[in-house]
Structure 1
Amino acid sequence: MRKTYRLGVLIAAGVMVISPASAAAAPQIACPAEIASVEIAVTAPPSWKAHVQYPLQLASAGISVGPPEALAILRGESVNKKGQLPSTRYRFGDIEAEHGKWLNCGYGEDCAVLLSKRLDPSIRECTVRYLKQQTPGKQTIQIVCK
C-alpha cells in the first residue's frame, strides 16, 4: 500500500510540473525554411526544357484573409521595441469562416512563390518576428499564434 501512495505522489508531482509549462506555451507555426528545387514545378513553353537550379529560401511571412489568390493581405501592426528585431502583430476581429485566416510564407527574390496554410479558426492573433540571420540569405522567422 505504501508503494502505491508514493507512486501516486510522484505522478501528481509530475502533473503539477508539466501542466503549467504546457498550458503557458503558445502554439507555434513555422514556415518551411526552403522549398527544395525538386519540389518546384515549372511548365516550360514548347521546345524549351525547364530546370530549377537552386532551392528557394524563406524570405517573408504574413497573414491574409482567404487563400493567397484572393490578395487580401493584412497589414498588421508594428510592435518593434528598441534593440529588438522587427515584429508584426496581427489581431483578428470577426473574420468570415468561409474565407478564414491564412499564413503566407514567401520564398525567393520578391517572394515570387508563396506557400499558404489556413489557420485554426480559434486563433485570435499572431505575431511574426524576424530573427537575426545566422547564415547570409537564410531568413529565420518566428510565428506565434494564440
Structure 2
Amino acid sequence: MTRFQPIAISALVLLAPLAAAAEQRIECPGEIPQASVKLTNTPPGWQTYVAAPLFLHNAAPTNGPPQDLGQMIGDTVRKSKTEWIDKYSLEGRYPNGKWLQCDYGVLNEISLSKRLDDDTKECTISGKKGEKAGQNLFTIRCK
C-alpha cells in the first residue's frame, strides 16, 4: 500500500455524505392542457367549454399529500416585482411525507403534487413572472 492510498480512502469517507445530499432538480409541468380539464355533473342543458390551458402559477413544498392542505411558507431570500427566491427547511418529522405541490390557474384552482424523498432537507424555489396572465416560471432545487 502506497502512502497516498490512505489519503484517497479518507477523501472518499469525507465525500460520502455529500453524495447522499445530492441536489435534485424538480420541474412542474408548465401548464395543464385544455383537453385535460373535464367538467362532470354539470346542470342539465348546460354545455361545457374550456377556453385555454391553466398555466403554472405557484410551487411549494407541503407537509403531506395534497388533500392534507399542508402548504408550507418559506423564508424569502430575495424578492422584486418580477422575481423571487424562497427557501424551505424540511428538517424534522413528516409522518405523511414531504411533497411538492404545483398550482395552476390564477387562484391556484388545480394542483399537481409529487412526493419528495423522505431524506430531503430543504428546497429552494426561484420564481419569475411568465409571459401569459397569471403564469409564473419556477426553478426548484431540493437536497
Change (3 A) 1:26 1:69: same
For 2:104, the equivalent position in structure 1 comes to 107
Give the TM-score, by structure 2 length: 0.75
Q: Does 1:127 align with 2:121?
A: no
For 1:67, the equivalent position in structure 2 comes to 65
Equivalent AA in structure 2 for residue 80 of structure 1: R
What displacement does 1:46 show? 2.7
Name which of 76, 79, 92 aligns with 1:78. 76
What displacement does 1:108 show? 0.7
What displacement does 1:81 show? 6.7
What whole-Å deviation, never above 9, does each CA across 1:93-132 have from its counterpart, x for those lacking one?
22234x1111111111211111111111121110111135
For 1:33, the equivalent position in structure 2 comes to 30
- Compare the two structures and name the one with the higher helix fraction: 1
Change (3 A) 1:100 1:132: same
Name which of 71, 75, 93 aligns with 2:91. 93
Equivalent AA in structure 1 for residue 106 of structure 2: E
- Superposed CA RMSD: 2.4
Q: How does 1:34-53 map to 2 (within 5 A)?
A: 34-43=31-40, 44-53=42-51
The percentage of counterpart residues that share the same residue type is 37
SS at 1:86's partner residue? strand
SS at 2:26's partner residue? coil
Equivalent AA in structure 1 for residue 27 of structure 2: A
Name structure 1 gaps, 5 residues minimum.
Answer: 1-22
> Aligned equivalents of 2:45 and 2:79: distance in 1?
54
> Aligned equivalents of 1:90 and 1:120: distance in 2?
15
